[in-house]
Amino acid sequence: MKVIVIGSTLAGTYAVQQIMNSHPDTEITIYEKNDNVSFINSGISMFLAGDVNELTDLFEVEPKALTDLGVTIKLKTPVLKVDAENKTIQARDLKTGETIKDTYDKLIVTTGSFPILPPIKGIDSEKVMLARSWYDAKKLADVSKDGNTVAIVGAGYIGVEIAEAYSRIGHQVILFQASGQVLRKYHDVEYSDEIVKDLEHNNVKVVLEETVTEFEDAGDKVIVKTNKGVYSANHAIVSVGSSPSSQLLNGIVDLGKSGEVLVDEYMRTSHPDILAAGDVASSYDNPAQREVYIPLGSTAVRQGTILGMNIIENRMKYIGTQASSGLQLYGVTTVTTGLTKTNAIKNGIDAEKVVMRTVYPLTTEEGTTDEDVLITLTYRKDNQRIIGGQMRSRADVSQTVNTLSVAIQNNMTLGDLAYVDQLLESSDRPFNILNFAAQFALNNEVNSNSKGK
């Protein structure tokens, strides 16, 4: 069987490796518009902070590992057109300028997403950059000089992580967010407020409720104008979200509201010979119970692998997502899974949450200490099913939120989680923190019900 893969970062690379693993006779050609495969862009902030020495350390798979499997890779060769009726693609070899035509039995579209560029005057200035690709990372490293001031537009994951990275190497940072809250999509205000405090404590000026309207070049500076003020920086970075790169399939397959390629649980599009995965595709949000567009690396890896398993016959279902994600800023881990109460209500769910502060053990070479932890459980009021959770601590709470993701995936209620079997950590900690949080939520429900009587 002849397979063409368009785009080879996470989803594409995982799909290819899975296919060659289970069906080594498949003839695969990858078309990739960049000159590299599998760049882990989540490592850009670590590179800027100096935690990763070489950009080359951020490639997950060397092209040779794929060619050794028998895969043909055409780098710097963007696909320009798909003809689904005749099962052909047209691509341009940017090295020679030559136009290439190729045929396929199955087409895999893993073209990912592209950064949204808001309509800000002067955004095309050389001093305004992105933080997305290998080239962006290299450009950012090239312009980074001691004592620089960097303006970052957008306080989602990328903006916040890059602000932290620059502040750790002594740069001044101004972080702009049009709404009143950083990381608003993923966290409740209790978490965002603590993150803002940490950023400000580390010389990041967090400017909330201001919209950047213009960049103006001024010698070695860029002037950043907002609806409320004027700021000056050496360079600016725009990170306000991403959109699916689905243009090639426009009019060929069904697309969702954000332009994402709609896929079923076997990663099939509405066209029988075209499959898609990763940032270009939809995924099913389990707690919200609907198809959504949530571009995440974790989803790209899972969907890519599952797509690979299903290339010949339907073998493995994608079971949807809780969009679990997290970040570590100044040594504090902040993690989330499922829906916040605000997002649940936006999805038409009558939701409640409990917020609890307790302690969590942090074990290092020096011994074990108790660290403060903030934990939130979000649940449906109608059936007490758990639909989300967040945690924040100096201790590594990421595995606990992963457990919560499994609980949401399996439709557990507060009652289930309150007494589910967990190992006895110590005599003074008879219940695990998740048991404890669910018990707290159950008490909260009993109290609010009795008040209501």
Ligand X SMILES: Cc1cc2nc3c(=O)[nH]c(=O)nc-3n(C[C@H](O)[C@H](O)[C@H](O)COP(=O)(O)OP(=O)(O)OC[C@H]3O[C@@H](n4cnc5c(N)ncnc54)[C@H](O)[C@@H]3O)c2cc1C
Q: Are 409 and 394 in contact (CB under 8 A)?
A: no
CB of 42 to ligand X, least distance (A): 3
Looking at 327-413, list the stretches that DSSP marks H as alpha helix, in order from N- to C-terminal side: 341-346, 398-409
Q: How far is CA 62 from CA 38, 73, 208, in A?
A: 8, 11, 41
Stretch that binds ligand X, among 9-17, 180-188, 401-409, 445-453 (CB under 6 A): 9-17
- Choose which of 15, 26, 29, 32 interacts with ligand X (CB under 6 A): 32
Binding of residue 109 to ligand X (CB under 6 A) = no
Listed residue (144, 179, 180) closest to 162, CA to CA: 144
The type of residue at 41 is N
CB of 195 to ligand X, least distance (A): 15
- Choose which of 111, 192, 390, 432 interacts with ligand X (CB under 6 A): 111
CB of 271 to ligand X, least distance (A): 17
CA–CA gap between residue 5 and residue 311 (Å, rounded) = 12
Binding of residue 412 to ligand X (CB under 6 A) = no
Count of residues engaged in binding ligand X, rule: CB under 6 A = 34
CB of 39 to ligand X, least distance (A): 7
Q: Are 300 and 308 in contact (CB under 8 A)?
A: no
The contact pattern for ligand X, residues 58-97, with x = CB under 6 A and - = no contact, is --------------------xx------------------
Stretch that binds ligand X, among 29-37, 258-266, 331-339, 389-397 (CB under 6 A): 29-37
Q: Which residue is nearest to ligand X (CB)?
A: 112
b/e code 162-185 from CB counts within 10 Å (16+ = b): bbbbbbbeebbbbbbbbeebbbbe
Map the footprint of ligand X across residues 131-190, applying CB under 6 A: 131-132, 157-158
The contact pattern for ligand X, residues 416-435, with x = CB under 6 A and - = no contact, is --------------------
Looking at 245-397, list the stretches that DSSP marks H as alpha helix, in order from N- to C-terminal side: 297-309, 341-346
CB of 157 to ligand X, least distance (A): 6
Q: If residue 165 lies in a helix (H) or strand (E), which one and from where to where?
A: helix 157-168
Binding of residue 12 to ligand X (CB under 6 A) = yes
Q: Are 206 and 193 in contact (CB under 8 A)?
A: no
Looking at 169-253, list the stretches that DSSP marks H as alpha helix, in order from N- to C-terminal side: 189-201
* Site residues for ligand X per CB under 6 A: 6-12, 31-34, 41-42, 44, 78-79, 110-113, 131-132, 157-158, 245, 248, 278-279, 295-298, 300, 325
